[in-house]
Amino acid sequence: REGAAGLAVLRGASLVVGLDGCIKAVGQADAIRNQFSEATFERIIDCSGKCVLPGLVDAHTHPVWAGDRVHEFAMKLAGASYMEIHQAGGGIHFTVEHTRKATEDELLSTFQQRLERMLRAGSTLVECKSGYGLSLETELKMLRVMERARKSTDIGISSTYCGAHAVPKGKTATEATDDIINNHLPKLKELKLSGEIHVNNIDVFCEKGVFDLESTRRILQAGKDIGLQINFHGDELHPMKSAELGAELGARAISHLEEVSDEGIVAMARAKCAAVLLPTTAYMLRLKQPRARKMLEEGVIVALGSDFNPNAYCFSMPMVMHLACVNMKMSMNEALAAATINAAYALGKSDTHGSLEVGKQGDLLIINASRWEHLIYQFGGHEALINYVIIKGKVVYENKRCETMSSY
């Protein structure tokens, strides 16, 4: 958990990753050359004139679904609000309908393509939510898709059960809550224990007209009781006192927070509960921007996420960082910390991910510029900037274009 002051830039440095995928050394190039003079390396990358950064961590995404909502973007531009579209049967309900019909293989195929696009934009660890099933059967289908992707792709996945993403048609919020607590969570516990599905977090969309504070409390507590970290949507469209509830329940992170109260901010800082801010969503829905400055001043651990989903179609954490700086008034150092070490903290993984330190997993980016700030400064420029993406010391993406062009 770094303040902006804790961001160290080493010049003329080298970094060594071992065969086990963990960082063995980071420091001055000469010292490392001496230290490893007898060692043999599978691969050496010359980064002269380039920058090495930690792999980016995307702390909030909804990447498993079928049926895009491009038609709704036009409705939003014409002035329809998020809840108006939702109440007219669009929004989450539209995606649920299509996701229920899709086969597991179809969902896996599009999910893997999306993860590949995230990887090329520098993300090496991504939080992925279910939540377009709302029925036990489809929620489990989504979680199985994540489990299969976890085993077949390099990118790290932190999976989140988000069965309380919306109230299913034909049910009241109380009935949906009872169904989740009595049917969904016991089944998840069973599949977790048998090792069939690994779920890390539990999420609820705590919002007026969706799940109220009391239903949210019941679901989150039941999830915590089966060993899931609490990481939920709160205070997005209306002030709900979600932040206060999360702090009280020992939540690891709360997302959105456009409408968070001052008391909620103080409570989160005290409870070391991370704020996952989503500048893409506030930008696309023309909402009030989350109060990043106030949170940082009060000592909240601020993380960033893309909120990739059919409503906010953005894969790129460099663009998210740019929006965070411009629209939420974060500094570039704060944005980088929020998209690396603090995002890892929000997923309970900051001991192994999110910074270039000895003993941590060797997830890194090499960018084709002598100053790391180009990753944020160039809006949408990551296609020609990101030269290598490395996960556990293995090059998983190499961008040949960087060899022939200067990034300026």
What residue ranges do the domains of the chain occupy?
13-53+362-398, 56-347
4 pLDDT more than 60: no
Instruction: Give the pLDDT score at 408.
Output: 59
Residue 77 burial (C-beta neighbours within 10 Å; 0-12, 13-18, 19+): exposed
Instruction: Give the pLDDT score at 94.
Output: 93
407 pLDDT more than 80: no
Q: Looking at the domain 13-53+362-398, which fold is it?
A: Urease, subunit C; domain 1 (2.30.40)
Gap between the Cα atoms of 305 and 315, Å rounded? 10
157 pLDDT more than 70: yes
Instruction: Give the pLDDT score at 353.
Output: 98
Which value, in Å, is the radius of gyration of the alpha carbons in the chain? Answer: 21
Instruction: Give the pLDDT score at 155.
Output: 98
Chain centroid to CA 170: how far?
31
Instruction: Give the pLDDT score at 1.
Output: 32
The model's pLDDT over 208-239, given as tens digits with 9 standing for 90+, comes to: 999 999 999 999 999 999 999 999 999 999 99
- Residue 171: pLDDT band (50, 70, 90) is very high
7 pLDDT more than 80: no
Using alpha carbons, select from 241, 244, 245, 200 the residue that is nearest to residue 223: 200
- Residue 312: pLDDT band (50, 70, 90) is very high
Q: In the β-sheet with 394-398, what is the strand arrangement from edge to edge?
A: 51-54, 364-367, 386-391, 394-398
CATH number of 56-347: 3.20.20.140
Q: What is the mean pLDDT of the chain?
A: 95
Average pLDDT (15-28) is 97
User: Which residue do the tokens 């990101």 mark?
Assistant: 386
Using alpha carbons, select from 184, 182, 183, 177 the residue that is nearest to residue 161: 184
**pTM, whole model, 2 decimals?**
0.96
The model's pLDDT over 106-144, given as tens digits with 9 standing for 90+, comes to: 999 999 999 999 999 999 999 999 999 999 999 999 999
Instruction: Give the pLDDT score at 390.
Output: 98
The model's pLDDT over 359-406, given as tens digits with 9 standing for 90+, comes to: 999 999 999 999 999 999 999 988 899 999 999 999 999 998 887 766
Kindly report the number of other CB atoms within 10 A of residue 403's CB atom.
Answer: 9
Question: Which percentage of the chain shows pLDDT scores above 90?
Answer: 88
- Residue 83: pLDDT band (50, 70, 90) is confident
Span of 181-190, 256-265, 373-382 with lowest mean pLDDT: 373-382
Instruction: Give the pLDDT score at 351.
Output: 98
Average pLDDT (144-168) is 97
2 pLDDT more than 60: no
Gap between the Cα atoms of 297 and 317, Å rounded? 23
Instruction: Give the pLDDT score at 406.
Output: 67
Question: What does the H/E/C string look like for the chain?
Answer: CCCHHHCCCCCCEEEEECCCCEEEEEEEHHHHHHHCCCCCCCCCCCCCCCEEEECEEECCECCCCCCCCHHHHHHHHCCCCHHHHHHCCCCHHHHHHHHHHCCHHHHHHHHHHHHHHHHHCCEEEEEEECCCCCCHHHHHHHHHHHHHHHHHCCCEEEEEEEEECCCCCCCCHHHHHHHHHHHHHHHHHHHHHCCCCCCCEEEEEECCCCECHHHHHHHHHHHHHCCCEEEEEECCCCCCCHHHHHHHHCCCEEEECCCCCHHHHHHHHHHCCEEEECHHHHHHCCCCCCCHHHHHHCCCCEEECCCEECCECCCCHHHHHHHHHHHHCCCHHHHHHHCCHHHHHHCCCCCCCCCCCCCCECCEEEECCCCCCHHHHCCCCHHHHEEEEEECCEEEEECCHHHHCCCC
Instruction: Give the pLDDT score at 82.
Output: 85
Instruction: Give the pLDDT score at 173.
Output: 96
**Residue with the larger pLDDT of the pair 408 and 94:** 94
Using alpha carbons, select from 321, 324, 318 the residue that is nearest to residue 381: 318
Q: Are both 13-53+362-398 and 56-347 of the same fold?
A: no
Q: Which long-range contacts (CB under 8 A, 24 or more apart) does 324-328 make?
A: 324/277, 324/279, 324/292, 325/376, 327/279, 327/282, 327/283, 327/289, 328/277, 328/279, 328/289, 328/290, 328/292, 328/293
3 pLDDT more than 50: no
